[in-house]
Amino acid sequence: MSSTFYMPSLNVMGSGSVAEAINYIKEQGFKQGLVVSDEVLNKIGVVKNFTDLLDKAQISSIVFDKAQPNPTVGNVNDGLALLKQHDCDFVVSLGGGSPHDCAKGIALVASNGGKVADYEGVDQSRKPQLPLIAINTTAGTASEMTRFAIITDEKRHVKMAIVDKHTTPVLSVNDPSLMAGMPASLTAATGMDALTHAIEAYVSTAATPITDAVALKAIELIQENLLTAVDNGENIVAREQMAYAQFMAGMAFNNASLGYVHAMAHQLGGFYDLPHGVCNAVLLPHVQRYNARVCPKRLKDIARSMGVDVLSMSAEQGANAAISAIEKLAKQVGIPAGLEVLGVKVDDISLLADNALKDVCGLTNPKQASHEEICQIFLAAM
């Protein structure tokens, strides 16, 4: 069976790498940029620091800072109107997953026309999006380097998964000095999101030797560095290691895709407007307990990457050890114990399961579930 490997052709890592983005924009001869970010990053001056660099390089830009934590169709439409009004020829996303996903929606519709909902699903667009330079400030969704964009349809209360090779940014930038200011709770949630990417990609039916290698290394780095990054956000070594880890987890899931953790978490995010990483972190051990019926050996590999001595363990014991290690790390970084405290209602579970089964991310889960089984996983996670 053939496999295709997607990622941006240029990826810059390390402190001070934002300067590389400016050089790149200059080299390409871009004239007018739309900078997509959020209100918090604008308020604390991160956006201005970047637009000052653009100004210095004599590149014009206009800021759209309305990407919400779960970016909506409305956000995409508003950003697109600003892009058209200012005749922008490139887009910069500056922030975490939300600005990146919102920018992808804007840039894709800018070049393909229609509405963002037209591109829900896999490879529905005809043309590459407007060039997108993605500068990351969290670790992370890895949206700065993936072909995935998750946009909330605020009318239907569902998250649309757009998986499209044309949404791949032309340049990704991971500068850990931009990540040092992330609060502990955001560090924990985004770090657990990255762990979920690596684990779902490793047990995916579309995994390849390439995605396996980067997934296991990502899991190892997250186990070694996430707690330090949460406890001491100024520790730039831990931040840099987490930047690499989330990037490798992104390389893994961008190509091996995901599983039911994401398919189910998207519904919680869309329905209750909950943080993506927290939803994943709560669901992750429960979905892997379900998956352990079919891929215990893969889960045992994950336990080993999380530092468990698995040598004398059977595959089943190893799988249990992986699930315990995931639960331990989630607890250490302060993830809530269950969905109930997040406000999820038992009465909504049937509808959430309906929508989860329609989410494209579930297609590569190692075991396909019935509606009843998805409901049971939700219930176990309450």
Interface residue list for Fe ion (CB under 5 A): 193
CA atoms within 13 A on the CB side of 324: 12
CB-neighbour burial class of residue 185 (10 A; exposed 0-12, middle 13-18, buried 19+): middle
Q: Where are the alpha helices (DSSP H) in the chain?
A: 18-28, 39-43, 46-56, 73-85, 97-112, 184-203, 209-231, 236-256, 260-272, 276-291, 296-305, 315-332, 349-356, 371-380
Q: Nearest CA to 150 among 107, 178, 111, 121?
A: 121
Rounded to an integer, what distance in angstroms lies between the CA atom of residue 378 and that of residue 224?
Answer: 29
Q: How far is the CB of 72 from Fe ion (least distance, A)?
A: 18
Specify the residue, 193 or 359, whose C-beta has the smaller distance to Fe ion: 193
Specify the residue, 143 or 225, whose C-beta has the smaller distance to Fe ion: 143
Q: How far is the CB of 255 from Fe ion (least distance, A)?
A: 15
Residue showing the smallest CB distance to Fe ion in the complex: 193
Specify the residue, 239 or 262, whose C-beta has the smaller distance to Fe ion: 262
Angle between helical axes of 371-380 and 276-291 (0-180°, round to 10): 120
Specify the residue, 65 or 101, whose C-beta has the smaller distance to Fe ion: 101
Specify the residue, 193 or 220, whose C-beta has the smaller distance to Fe ion: 193
Residue 209's alpha-carbon distances to 213, 217, 312, 366, in angstroms, are 6, 12, 25, 16
Specify the residue, 65 or 193, whose C-beta has the smaller distance to Fe ion: 193
Q: Are 10 and 28 in contact (CB under 8 A)?
A: no
Q: How far is the CB of 141 from Fe ion (least distance, A)?
A: 5
